[in-house]
Structure 1
Amino acid sequence: MNTISENKLELEHIIDELGYSSLRVSIFNRPTENRDEWQTRIEYDSETNEYKVYSLADRASLMGKVKSYSDYEDAVDDFLKKLKLTVEYNKLRVRQNKNPEYQSPLWDE
């Protein structure tokens, strides 16, 4: 079983391979650390032994629900799905001549 720091490195590598490095993400930081608008987050709660996946909206407010997972792979799948949806949603906004949530070269592809 990997440690949280090993999982973080692995997930950062996957994000780079997918070309998502310009997306706003937070990987295994504390819930109050490094919060940013339109950010997708994955955290580990050592008290409950659960992974938490959620997104932030403008002013770093919670968007939707916080999903909890006991299985690391399930949490990663949801996290990566949220990143893919972020790209698709912002590409659609750009095609519709609307402002994206934030600037990223991924919206222009």
Structure 2
Amino acid sequence: MNSDSIEEYKNILEDDIQILGYGDLRYSIFEGPENNRQEYQIRIEKIGGTFEVYMTADRAGVMGKYQFEDIFDAFHQFLSIMQDTILSNRKRVRDGEPPEYSCPLWDN
């Protein structure tokens, strides 16, 4: 897979994120494992022959890393983590607990 393919896949995933309305979440798509790291960020990276999907925690440490050979399986996991992030933070706000970070998807 060359860099043109990665850019094309990145554009597909970005489009899906915008259609779903998840654009305000913290995420990174194929930026490199050490680039643009933030706390509580959902990430997808191409590492060797696999795709890694994971979320960072406080101090940008890694939580729950998944590896896939198929890009579309990785996309599915990435979007699933996004949805879980929204739901869990909405529940936290509803229950009077602080969310992971401020975001219009659960602050309202």
* Residue equivalent to 2:77: 78
TM superposition score normalised by structure 2: 0.93
Counterparts in 2 of 1:1-109, with a 5 A limit? Answer: 3-45=5-47, 47=48, 49-64=49-64, 66-108=65-107
C-alpha separation between the residues in 1 aligned to 2:57 and 2:66?
16
Q: Unpaired runs of 5+ in structure 2?
A: none
> Could you report, residue by residue, the CA deviation over 1:33-87 in whole angstroms, capped at 9, with x for unpaired residues?
0000000000111x3x1000000001101123x1110001100000000000000
Question: Alpha carbon RMSD of aligned pairs, Å?
Answer: 1.4
* Distance (Å, rounded) in 2 between the aligned partners of 1:95 and 1:67: 29
| Structure 1 residue ranges, 4+ long, deviating more than 4 angstroms after superposition | none
Equivalent-residue separation in structure 1 for 2:57 and 2:7 (angstroms):
26
Amino acid at match of 1:99: P
SS at match of 2:43: strand
Give the match's secondary structure for 1:17: helix
